[in-house]
Structure 1
Amino acid sequence: MVTVGILIRFDAKPDKVAEVESMLRSALLQVRGDVSTIAWHAMRVGPASFAVFDAFEDEAGRQAHWDAYSKPLEQAAPALFIAPPTVDFVDILGAKLPGA
């Protein structure tokens, strides 16, 4: 069961949209090896707007994921994004996952 998540939203610089999309596609390969991440979704929500949603069983998993991935995101942000990403730590009220 998932109880907590992270929702990250950001807008790519106009000349960096393809690079951001590529970064998100390659991030999937890294996250697949992260046992604490129950679900991970990278989304385009507008022409240059993106979001990532991660779901975890508990706070320890969420914090472990954040500790592993927040620095690379922070370091990439000035070159790729119009402004720093918006990060929300969320409580999951309900979820439907494969196999559930």
Structure 2
Amino acid sequence: MEKLALLARLEAKPGKEQQLADFLKNALPLAVAEPGTIRWYALQIGPSTFGIFDTFADEAGRDAHLNGDIPKALTAHADELLAVPPVIEKIDLLAVK
């Protein structure tokens, strides 16, 4: 059961919105390959604001994701794509349907 989550907010540099959207779409296979990640969503919140929301059964799954390929790839492209560092929040899920 999903008990934990992460919410990452990403702000694209001006003119890099589509590149960030494409990066997030292309990250899906990496998320699928993570056994501890139950659900993974890439989302667009506003014209230049994007996010990732993912859920986990336990802290081990969440930690594995935080140390996995998606954060590494995002870090490698952060200077090119992001206006500010990502804001990553650890979340405890209270109810899930």
TM-score normalised to structure 1 length: 0.90
Q: Give 4+ residue runs of structure 1 displaced > 3 Å after superposition.
A: none
3-state SS of 2:46 partner: coil
| Aligned-residue offset at 1:44 | 0.3
Structure 1 residue 43, shift from structure 2 partner = 0.5
* Matched residue, 1:40: 40
Gaps of 5+ in 1: none
Partner of residue 75, structure 2: 74
Q: Normalization by structure 2: what TM-score?
A: 0.93
- For the residue of structure 2 that corresponds to 1:74, the secondary structure is helix
User: What SS class does the counterpart of residue 94 from structure 1 fall into?
Assistant: coil
Q: Which residue type is aligned with residue 86 of structure 1?
A: V
Give the percent of matched residue pairs that are identical in Structure 1 and Structure 2.
38
CA distance in 2, matches of 1:95, 1:73: 28
Distance apart, 1:71 and its partner CA: 2.7
Deviations 1:34-70 (A, max 9, x none): 1111010110000011010010000000001111133
Q: Which moved more, 1:54-63 or 1:67-76?
A: 67-76
Partner of 2:57: 57
Q: Secondary structure at the match of 1:82?
A: coil
RMSD: 1.0
Matched residue type, 1:77: A
CA distance in 2, matches of 1:73, 1:7: 14
May I ask how many residue pairs the two structures share in their alignment?
96
Residue identity opposite 1:34 in structure 2: E
Letter in 2 for 1:21: A
Unaligned runs of 5+ in 2: none
CA distance in 2, matches of 1:21, 1:70: 15
